Amino acid sequence: MPTPTSRSLLESAVCCTPVTGEAMTPQAAVRLARTLKAIADPARLRLLSLVAAHEGAEACVCDLVAPLGLSQPTVSHHLKVLVDAGLLTRDKRGVWAYYALVPNALDSLAAQLTTTS
C-alpha cells in the first residue's frame, strides 16, 4: 500500500504535464484582450455583421445607423473601436466614411482562440 508521501508524489506526477506548445506572450495577451473587448459588445458584433453583409464587405456609416437604431455619433464611436482593434478599415470619401473588414482579421482572431491537440 502506498504511503501518503509516495501517493502525493504519484498524483502530482499525473496532474502536472509538461508544456509542449508555445504559451501566449504578455504582449499577445494584451492585444487579444483588446480585440475581444472590442467585439464583446452586441452593437459592435452587429456592425461587423452588417459590414460583412454589404456588397464588397464595405459599408458607409450612413448605411449602418438605421439598422442599429443608434445615433450616428454612437455608431461612429463603435466603428472607431473596431478600427482601433484592427478589425475594420476606414476610408473617408467626401463627407462620408466607409468601413471594410480587414482581410483575414476575423480568421486570425478565430485561430488565436482555437486549441490544437
Domain that holds residue 95: 26-107
Assess if residue 49 is contained within a domain.
yes
In this structure, is residue 7 part of a structural domain? no
Q: What is the CATH number of the domain that holds 92?
A: 1.10.10.10
Tell me how many domains the chain contains.
Answer: 1
Helix, strand, or coil (residue 86): coil
Q: What is the pLDDT of residues 64-116, one digit of tens each?
A: 999 999 999 999 999 999 999 999 999 999 999 999 999 888 888 888 877 66
Is residue 2 included in any domain, yes or no?
A: no
Q: Is 52 a domain residue?
A: yes
Query: pTM of the entire structure?
Result: 0.74
Q: How many CB atoms are located within 10 Å of the residue 88 CB?
A: 25
Q: Is residue 14 part of a domain?
A: no
Encode pLDDT of 19-53 as tens digits: 666 778 899 888 888 889 999 999 999 999 999 99
- Whether residue 66 lies inside any domain: the answer is yes
